[in-house]
Structure 1
Amino acid sequence: MPDLVAPGLRVLFCGINPGLYTAAIGHHFGRPGNRFWPALHGAGFTPRLFAPWEERELLPLGIGITNMVERTTATAAELSPDEYVAGGQRLRRLVEAQPPRVVAFLGIGAYRTAFGRPKATLGLQDERLAGSALWVLPSPSGLNANHQLADLVSLLRALREWVDG
């Protein structure tokens, strides 16, 4: 999946890795049941509910998308800790080249593993990544039953208010 980035982004959302369906259709968070697009709209980041194939319309809104790990898998459980660490290093290079105001990780476990922060919690982090603020959110995957859509909307709204504040 190619990164969706541009200079001067407000938020760079970082997913864990592309799933099989997402890779097959070639659009981020493409699987039906993934809650990224409804949560993004519900939190006020987009003026309407976008479909995955409209992802490029995020760039004029100052929003980009990348993945921690580029390898496609059926589930993130197939990824190794070494892949997360390597993905974190790739992400650092991407952020250094085009720093957004904030990098928002969509997957707390991926963030903890990639950056060696086993006790990280959701929300704004104390550290920065190549000058960009870091924010950790739950994965919007339909496989993540720990957080429902209303939870994701609330957490994303807090991020949007911080970015816009």
Structure 2
Amino acid sequence: MRTSLRMTSAAAAALAATLVLGGCGSGDDGDQKPAAEETLNPGADPETGKQPGSVQGVWSTEADGEEFVLTVVADGVSLVRGGTPCTGRMMDGDKPTLDLTCPDGGGEDRASGTVESVDSEELEVAWNGGVTDTYARVAEAPKDMPTDLGNLEDLLPQG
């Protein structure tokens, strides 16, 4: 029961972060592909059968006794750690990089990261603090971002 509640809270935080990131895109609603929609792994892995994947989506992991929820929508990125969101951008390159800013300078050990690998189920990010986190996909990135947030505050966990 505790895990379900924690995952529900994490999912609500991820949803909120995803909605917030909707206003952080490039501003061009044309037919452009979101940053890093292409895959780092061009074909299915013959050993595991895992399919290639996109960095876009909602990802979760536990590290250092904390739950982390990483959300990537277009070029917007959010990392929720212990209920505190860090937000920023994803930059394209040989390997996509994640550049985040955390409130009050907290979370500096995960302020800059490089996507090392991604498939349909897992995302591996090497962070500037010397740690590498492996995230499990929680949800796909939404195709269209809502413009009316309605009663979003009612959906967020209180406390």
TM-score by structure 1 length? 0.26
The structure where strand makes up a greater share of residues is 2
TM-score by structure 2 length? 0.26
- Larger gyration radius, structure 1 or structure 2: 2
